[in-house]
A and B are shown apart, each in its own frame.
Chain A
Amino acid sequence: MKSYLLPQFLVDRDDYRCIRCEVCVRQCAFDVHWYDGEEDAVFADESKCVGCLRCVTLCPTNALVVRHNPTQHPPNANWTKEVLQNIYKQAETGGVLLTGMGCDKPYPIYWDRIVLDASQVTNPSIDPLREPMELRTYLGAKPDALKIGGKEGKLSLETRITPQLKLETPIMFSAISYGAISYNACESLARAAAEAGTYYNTGEGGLHRNLYKYGDHTICQVASGRFGVHADYLEVAAALEIKIGQGAKPGIGGHLPGEKVSAEISRTRMIPKGTDALSPAPHHDIYSIEDLAQLIYALKEATHWEKPVSVKIAAVHNSAAIASGMVRAGADIIALDGIRGGTGAAPTMIRDNVGIPIELALAAVDDRLRQEGIRNRASIVVAGGIRSSADVVKAIALGADAVYIGTAALVALGCHVCQKCYTGKCNWGIATQDPYLSKRLNPEVGARRLVNLLNAWSHEIMEMLGGMGINAIESLRGNRLRLRGVGLTQEELDILGIKHAGA
């Protein structure tokens, strides 16, 4: 069948600059480039190009330009190029449209319509280069009250504090499974989390034996497939996370296709090589809040009540009510993942149409827990579209305790957000299990890049805090008075719980 799909990108090669070194030929796992010896020229099959820019970045003579194919379909605001191309693809394959990374549709990004406050005249700002500034964050349930006892002038804390995670900066790496990304990418995240004093999350693919040594900085996920979940895995983790949902695909399960289940992945997930790894949509031991409580306490019981238990949900319409139930079910941490949250593979229609923006979900959940007087009983961690330190500051002022970053972390490792993670051919060595590709990512370099990112963001956060005259991240949490909306409707402002700029 003749494909009606047009190339998404065009590859322009400057023949004068091209030295026929064939770096582009070797670097492209999608087989776009090839060298013809007879003609002594390099050619490109543009229909295969995904726009990841690996060849452009590595070309030693800057001979390559990859640009959007300017070919226009007949003008139509309804039947756009994307809509038509999707239909052609499905007419040719009969399959569900698949994509990677987070939703790329132009839903409002509320971070960009919220601005921060700063001190002027009436209260002094603080310079973090000279003065102490505290970003340390503890995640876990906080007691309703502290009981201080003691005798003969010596005070002691009588209240028993439940287990907490100690973060040197309020940024953690989101759940990304070994399977979705390469071993080298996992090791980069693990090493960076350990070095920066924060945590990374295994996702639902188990934990490779070589990474157990980073256990103190690892959040181990327990998802519906229960892959790689066994006693050692539960014991080595700093915290456990029950994954109910994911922002990129709320309400559905996942399939890691058999061809990605390599020998190492099979060992880590503890399933046979080459079989599909199916994650059912629900946990079949959780059909209610009471059942969720049962699994939370099963995990606490199995790990002797020594670790906080997080529960992660996708941000959906009634997240606030669900979050209230989660807190009452015993979750120490609530992780909310918004509609822009990333994924290694999700049906395009689900990714782009299901769920709500994280900003609104966060504001609603924080409000609800405060109204019910249970906000202290769980920390809130938000994910799904945190792109910069400014997003982190705004999230914390809206009510979050910390954030998870996934896409931003992968971008630090080299990801160019081409959204083809599901093909397993990532030229940057991140979303692939092909050893030829994954060795392109050196875990030492990867960890360095991630630590650099965290350090840079942390410093920017301190500057923004200092500008507001605040010297501890604690003082910003839920401090919505330091936020103002720009160009938002009254309803949006009400949900976000902030005033409009100027008011």
Chain B
Amino acid sequence: MRIDVDHHAGLPGVFVRVDGKVKINARHMHYRELNNMVKAAASEGVEEIVLENVYGQRYIGSGIRRPVRIVVHGVPGNDLGAFMDGPRITVDRNAQDGVGNTMNSGLIVVHGRAGDIVAMGMRGGKIFIRDGVGYRAAIHMKEYRKFRPILVIGGDTQDFLGEYMAGGLVIVLGLKGKGRRKVKFNARHIGTGMHGGTIFLRGEVEDHQLGKEAAAVPATEEDKDFIRPFVEEYAGYFGANAAEIMGSDFLKVYARSHRPFGGLYAY
């Protein structure tokens, strides 16, 4: 594969300052070196950090507690925004596994697809993925008071979506292909062990695709009003037609119980 190098980004490992922004050419940089530079720029109070030529560097956005904007050009590595608390990250390509792992607050927008365990243990903030995601998306996502994580997936997902889900909101739009028409979901074990939170699926699933701790009902008009702002936000990032998307039927998947294993033990 030919790798295009943007020479305008400056030399690797060197800050380039343009109009209050910082640009870093990440080419051939170890993640530790890159993240140190990103953290240093963020602590200076820079509003936007642009990373060029990112090729698999892990943990971008981790350990920063300011709402700095981070623009990633390239494919970031695993655990993008892990334990993140504030930054707003945009990725112009695909992302890998563990996007938003145990994330607390902030925003991640991926103009492509993402790998497995997107939003694992996520407690707050928002993640928008333009296309589909891998296995176990939103696993053990949870909410607490003002923290309410939101994950919007444009395409579809693999199995175990929302496994152990304890809170938060997941919206799966099922947009796929050139015409971005609605597809039937193939994922199985949706909401296995789910005991909180809500998943909205645009389209249909068979009963056997749901985990036994999850239940599904058609979304009401109130439900759709509730998710509309997030679908509009998705449409704003990726240029989709929110009104058309919201014109379709949604399924609402919820936990049958907040105490799924209450009766398991002989006391």
Contacts and interface: CB of A to CB of B under 8 A. Distances in A.
Interface string A306-344: 000000000000000000000000000000000000000
Given A90-B266, A231-B83, A275 B166 contact: yes
A272 B85 contact: no
Contacts of B39: 304
A229 B121 contact: yes
B133 to A, nearest CB: 14
A93 B266 CA distance: 6
B266 A280 contact: no
B234 interface: no
Interface stretch (A95-103, A165-173, A356-364): A95-103
Contact of B259 (A98, A257, A304): A257
Interface string B56-73: 001100110100000000
Contacts of A225: 121, 140
Nearest to A347: B265
Most B CB within 10 A of own CB, among A98, A257, A302, A304? A302
Interface of A: 89-90, 92-98, 224-226, 229-231, 234, 255, 257-258, 266, 270-272, 274-276, 278, 280, 284-285, 294, 297-299, 301-305, 347, 422-423
A34 B242 CA distance: 67
B83 A298 contact: yes
A146 to B, nearest CB: 23
B21 to A, nearest CB: 23
B167 A272 contact: yes
Given A272-B144, A298-B59, A95 B264 contact: yes
B114 interface: no
Given A225-B140, A297-B58, A255 B83 contact: no
Contact of B265 (A96, A274, A301): A96
Contacts of B83: 229-231, 234, 298-299, 302
13 contacts: A95-B263, A98-B266, A224-B140, A229-B121, A231-B83, A255-B264, A271-B142, A275-B259, A278-B166, A285-B79, A301-B63, A303-B63, A304-B63
A224 B264 CA distance: 20
B123 interface: yes
B262 A257 contact: yes
A303 B120 CA distance: 19
B102 A229 contact: yes
Given A89-B266, A226-B140, A230-B104, A285 B62 contact: no
Contacts of B31: 301
Given A285-B120, A297-B58, A278 B63 contact: no
Contacts of A98: 265-267
A91 to B, nearest CB: 9
B53 interface: no
Given A226-B121, A226-B140, 13 more contacts: A90-B266, A225-B140, A229-B102, A230-B123, A271-B166, A276-B261, A280-B140, A280-B193, A285-B101, A298-B101, A302-B59, A302-B62, A305-B32
Contacts of B144: 266, 270-272
A278 B196 CA distance: 11
Contacts of B201: none
Given A257-B262, A271-B167, A278 B195 contact: yes
B112 interface: no
B139 A301 contact: no
Contact of A276 (B63, B140, B167, B258): B258
Contacts of B166: 271, 275, 278
Nearest to B32: A301
Given A272-B167, A284-B117, A298-B79, A258 B258 contact: yes
A276 B195 contact: yes
A255 B265 CA distance: 11
A169 to B, nearest CB: 32
Nearest to A92: B266
B198 interface: no
Interface string B224-267: 00000000000000000000000000000000001111111111
B262 A298 contact: no
A275 B265 contact: no
B139 to A, nearest CB: 5
A95 B267 CA distance: 8
A266 B144 CA distance: 8
Most A CB within 10 A of own CB, among B97, B98, B147, B163? B98
Given A97-B266, A284-B120, A304-B39, A258 B259 contact: yes
A289 to B, nearest CB: 15
B117 to A, nearest CB: 6
B265 A95 contact: yes
Contacts of A93: 265-267
A137 to B, nearest CB: 29
Contacts of A94: 266
Nearest to B35: A301
B143 interface: yes
A294 B58 contact: yes
Contact of B193 (A266, A278, A299): A278
A272 B143 contact: yes
B38 to A, nearest CB: 11
A278 B164 contact: yes
Contacts of B195: 275-276, 278
Contacts of B259: 257-258, 275-276
Contacts of B189: none
B238 to A, nearest CB: 27
B136 interface: yes
Nearest to A225: B140
A364 B206 CA distance: 51
